Amino acid sequence: MSGSSDGMDEIVQEFLVESHENLDQLDRDFVELERSPGSRDLLASVFRTIHTIKGTSGFLSFGNLEKVTHVGENLLAQLRDGDRVLDAATTDVLLRMVDAVRELLALIEATGGDADGDVDGVVDAVKAVLDGTSAPAVEPEPVAIDPEPVAIDPEPEPVAVEPEREPVVAPVATAGSVPAEPAGDEPATEQKKRSAVDGSIRVDVDVLENLMQLVGELVLSRNQILQLAAESAEADLVRSAHRLDLISSSLQEAVMKTRMQPMDYLWAKLPRVVRDLSAQCGKEVDLVMHGRETELDRTLLDAVKDPLTHLVRNAVDHGIERPGAREQAGKPRRGTLTLRAYHESGQVVMEIGDDGKGLDPDAIGRKAVDKGLVSAGELAAMSRRQVLDLIFRPGFSTAEAVTNVSGRGVGMDVVRTNIEKIGGSVDLTSTPGHGTVCRVTIPLTLAIIPALIVRQGAERYAIPQANLLELVRMNPEDATKGVEYVAGVPVHRLRGRLLPLLDLGGQLGVESVGRGDAATIAVLRSDTDEFGLVVDEVVETQEIVVKPLGAALTSLQAFAGAAVMGDGRIALILDVPGLAAAGNVASTSASITSTLREEAGLGGADSDLRSLLVVRTEGARNVAVPLEKVARLEEVEVTALEHVGSTTVIQYRGDLLPIVEPDGGYSSYGGYGVPGQGEAPAQESLVVPTVTIVVYQHGARLVGLRVAEIVDIVEVPLVLSPIGARAGSLGSLVVNGNITDVLDVAALAAPFAADEADAYLEDSRAR
């Protein structure tokens, strides 16, 4: 991989910085040791330090460094375990060992390797002490007789017992100073280039966090001053404000940069994960990465680490097929997992894509119904996207069997929760047979988020943009129509969908001021629930600095934090999932359905209740289809309608879907749907008109029903009046005060009954 050498350099750099820190600690420990030579704690600390350096040097194949630290470690082990008492000779040789380590580190930093270092002298000296063959300067304590050597080479070389320091120091020093000298336009006093230790410091992330907050404040103050300056005629003030503007922008950038790390920090581990995992699953997977240099705030990187790993595992485990299956599907044996990261409008986008089998919405739907996550009725009303979204519901897993890769209780719901916790979002697109792309969008930084500022009563509140889908403004004349109350539950019809409404004032117990009859609805999304939040006024969108609330307020689920606004006042940040939970949005949606049933005057016995999908036909007639027959609702462009013989069809999931019109039998412009009829001609509009198709299932066959509008889903006792009974209609009943025909699906689908239709489809394919 191209970046591997860079990666290695970085590891060496880190190792050097860390080792130098460790050596400083070592010096302190030795000083302490002189005062209390018997301290086990200190000896253990010294041992750990040397052990760490040894371990890493072995890993990075710095042979000489490993050699030195290895013998040093042996000696220290004896000291630590009390098998040896620290005497002058031991101290001396230990210090020599530390010096040698230091020299070797300098050598590594200068040349990238330690092969040129001569360590035999020190090593022998340490070994001599270990073996007790060195002539101790001072007589060691008699206690220290321990004949047990700990893993030393059996051949001590007594010849080299007392080598002087020169052999160690001299070559290292020269080797160290020479290659470090660049072309040399630096002043002579600065002989060495900045070493890794001098060039970087470790900073507590909290300190940076604080710095970031302060810069946030500065940016807000700057905004205020810029505003003042804009209104002022004082040229000096304007100039100063302009300079302040420039400086604070650069400062903000610089501070943000201190916390930025490239995506590769996370990705570097993935090739190994993918390799192991694909071997485990018997798959062949290539990992392709784009945008590994894309930078992201450190705390966010940490937060997306687990979700990312999970998504990658998912792609290998569930997405990409085994080599055999791939060949059968006409794909190359090796699957490709593509990671892509890039910046987009102030956010970081990370895509995890595979070219595997894709997600099967039908299988997902079935599974969700089996697990009781949704009812068959709810499923039928869902768009394809919503169906895919089901995999984010808690308790969902598409794995047929629990493998040791998946199935450890962490599902996509956790992935989504973790991403949303940091203000991000997860999105799935999947093409059956071609693969799945999971798109994770995360803010660049946590501290400053874009927000929509709304007013309710006298105060302003901030709604994170991440939760905002759209704004709906209703004029006074529309407001009464736009907000309907279904047994006290306010709802809004948004493009044919019923959107439960929450009133922010009502939720917070704050009176509305100056709303009049108009209503502003912020359409928000929390998990998979969408709802409208009715507010007094939308003020502006602004970048805000998120501050936590005090301990006494953290239990308020309506608020996620607070932000200081440009005028110094505080605005509370609304917690959208918290509001949704407090307002029972999920169950509100459910109760709307049941309330509609009651309003229809059909409270009756629950036992006979049937769910009906009520639609309006092109002929402005209300008709109902039993919901359990409905497979899906689709919106297709009118141009997708094609004709085969006298039948209208659309291409649907690799098959042909026959389309019928419920008005077919008797409407004034009847006949099996001629496209365009009853449809406003598409003149002057670039938008291709669409038609709504109710896909329903009859036996093994899908049939599309072309309708003008989806009205509602109601639950009613199916007591049919025979009055409306005729061809194509089972009878009629009254729903919400409207006479509604219940379609005879069987009759409508009859021309397309399984075998006939199959034959017909065979026929059409042959053409």
* Contact positions vs another protein (CB under 8 A): 213-214, 217, 459, 508-510, 547-553, 555-556, 558-559, 562, 564, 568-572
**CB nearer another protein, residue 372 or residue 568:** 568
What's the min distance (Å) between Cβ of 503 and another protein? 13
What's the min distance (Å) between Cβ of 564 and another protein? 5
**CB nearer another protein, residue 88 or residue 570:** 570
Q: How far apart are CA 275 and CA 67, in angstroms?
A: 33
**3-class secondary-structure state, position 670:** coil
**CB nearer another protein, residue 217 or residue 477:** 217
Q: How far apart are CA 467 and CA 21, in angstroms?
A: 44
Which tokens hold the place of 407? Answer: 């199935």
Q: How far apart are CA 553 and CA 556, in angstroms?
A: 6
DSSP-assigned states of every residue in 138-207: SPPPGGG------S--S---GGGSS--SHHHHHHHHHHHHTTT--S--S-TT--SPPPHHHH-----HHH
What's the min distance (Å) between Cβ of 566 and another protein? 12
Which tokens hold the place of 469? Answer: 């889908």
What's the min distance (Å) between Cβ of 508 and another protein? 4
Compute φ and ψ for 30, nearest 5 degrees. Answer: -65, -40
Q: For residues 74-86, b (16+ Cβ closer than 10 Å) or e, as one string?
A: bbbbbbbeeebbb
Which tokens hold the place of 519? Answer: 């209503």
Compute φ and ψ for 57, nearest 5 degrees. Answer: -65, -35
CA distances in angstroms from 580 to 497, 524, 563, 574, listed in the order given? 18, 9, 21, 11
Q: Which residues partner with 338 through β-bridges?
A: 288, 353
What's the min distance (Å) between Cβ of 558 and another protein? 6
**CB nearer another protein, residue 458 or residue 680:** 458
Q: Look at the alpha carbons of 690, 691, 695, 698 in this order and tell me if their dihedral is positive or negative.
A: negative
Give which of 83, 100, 192, 99 is closest to 141, Cα–Cα.
83
What's the min distance (Å) between Cβ of 526 and another protein? 18
What is the amino acid identity at position 411? G
Largest separation between any pair of C-alpha atoms in the chain: 118
**CB nearer another protein, residue 221 or residue 347:** 221
Q: For residues 19-32, b (16+ Cβ closer than 10 Å) or e, as one string?
A: bbebbeebeebbee
- Listed in sequence order, the residues at least 6 apart from 185 whose beta carbon sits closer than 8 Å to its beta carbon are none
Q: How far apart are CA 342 and CA 304, in angstroms?
A: 15
What's the min distance (Å) between Cβ of 565 and another protein? 9
Q: How far apart are CA 659 and CA 648, in angstroms?
A: 5
What's the min distance (Å) between Cβ of 466 and another protein? 21
**CB nearer another protein, residue 559 or residue 752:** 559
**CB nearer another protein, residue 134 or residue 456:** 456
**CB nearer another protein, residue 116 or residue 459:** 459
**CB nearer another protein, residue 444 or residue 549:** 549
What's the min distance (Å) between Cβ of 575 and another protein? 11
**CB nearer another protein, residue 311 or residue 534:** 534
**CB nearer another protein, residue 31 or residue 214:** 214
Q: Which residues partner with 559 through β-bridges?
A: 574
DSSP-assigned states of every residue in 491-524: EEEETTEEEEEEEHHHHHT----S-TT-EEEEEE
What's the min distance (Å) between Cβ of 559 and another protein? 7
**CB nearer another protein, residue 509 or residue 645:** 509
Give which of 182, 133, 183 is closest to 157, Cα–Cα.
133
Q: How far apart are CA 386 and CA 361, in angstroms?
A: 9
Q: How far apart are CA 425 and CA 291, in angstroms?
A: 19
Eight-state DSSP code of residue 628: G
**CB nearer another protein, residue 52 or residue 223:** 223
**CB nearer another protein, residue 571 or residue 585:** 571
What's the min distance (Å) between Cβ of 527 and another protein? 22
What's the min distance (Å) between Cβ of 504 and another protein? 9
Q: Are 337 and 285 in contact (CB under 8 A)?
A: yes
Q: Are 395 and 401 in contact (CB under 8 A)?
A: no
Which tokens hold the place of 603? Answer: 């409270």
Q: Are 629 and 610 in contact (CB under 8 A)?
A: no
Give the E-state strand segments of 647-749 in sequence order. Answer: 647-652, 655-660, 690-698, 701-707, 709-717, 729-735, 738-743
Angle ∠(437,439,445) on CA atoms, nearest 5: 160
Eight-state DSSP code of residue 444: S
**CB nearer another protein, residue 256 or residue 491:** 256
What's the min distance (Å) between Cβ of 573 and another protein? 11
Which tokens hold the place of 60? Answer: 């990075």
What's the min distance (Å) between Cβ of 556 and another protein? 5
**CB nearer another protein, residue 50 or residue 504:** 504
What's the min distance (Å) between Cβ of 221 and another protein? 9
Name the pairing type of β-strands 701-707 and 690-698: antiparallel
Compute φ and ψ for 329, nearest 5 degrees. Answer: -80, 5
**CB nearer another protein, residue 302 or residue 459:** 459
What's the min distance (Å) between Cβ of 658 and another protein? 55
Q: Are 502 and 585 in contact (CB under 8 A)?
A: yes
Give which of 31, 73, 68 is closest to 50, Cα–Cα.
73
**CB nearer another protein, residue 68 or residue 579:** 579
What's the min distance (Å) between Cβ of 95 and another protein? 41
- Listed in sequence order, the residues at least 6 apart from 681 whose beta carbon sits closer than 8 Å to its beta carbon are none
What's the min distance (Å) between Cβ of 637 and another protein? 46
